[in-house]
Amino acid sequence: MSEESAHTHPNYIKIWAILTFLLVLSILGPMMGIKAVTLIAAFGIAVVKAAMVGAYFMHLNIEKRYVWYMLFTALLFLGLFFFGVSPDVMKPDGSNWVNHNNMPVSTLEGHGVGHTN
């Protein structure tokens, strides 16, 4: 098999214009000061932009499934990592345990434990 793999190309400038428009929306949305709008505008649009870059610029829309399986495997392990580690980071205590390294500063001061975040 040669290195060559020619394919048809979409209108990249149009895609870039849409991405730029979405960027402007992601900046203006949070200016409204509404938390839900900020989350959707900032992170929802980031996901859409990433999907568009992946699909059209990286050509994932026409890439072989093998690559999709590779990417999904990486994302799956990332999800496992997040949900495996997050309780330890995000919960300060539980049934019969307290994580002194993850207590608010005000609580720790009373126990003489130094902590900076």
Q: Which is nearer to other proteins, 49 or 108 (CB)?
A: 49
What would the DSSP string read from start to end of the chain?
--S--------HHHHHHHHHHHHHHHHHGGGG--HHHHHIIIIIHHHHHHHHIIIIIS-TTTS-HHHHHHHHHHHHHHHHHHHHHHHHHH-SEETTEE-GGGS-HHHHHTTT-----
Contact between 36 and other proteins (CB under 8 A)?
Answer: no
Answer for which of 50, 62, 98, 113 binds other proteins (CB under 8 A) is: 50
Q: Which is nearer to other proteins, 7 or 112 (CB)?
A: 7
Contact between 99 and other proteins (CB under 8 A)?
Answer: no
**Site of interaction with other proteins (CB under 8 A):** 1-6, 9, 12-13, 15-16, 19-20, 23, 26-27, 30, 38, 41-43, 46, 49-50, 53-54, 56-58, 63-64, 66-67, 70-71, 73-75, 77-78, 81-82, 85-86, 89-90, 102, 116-117
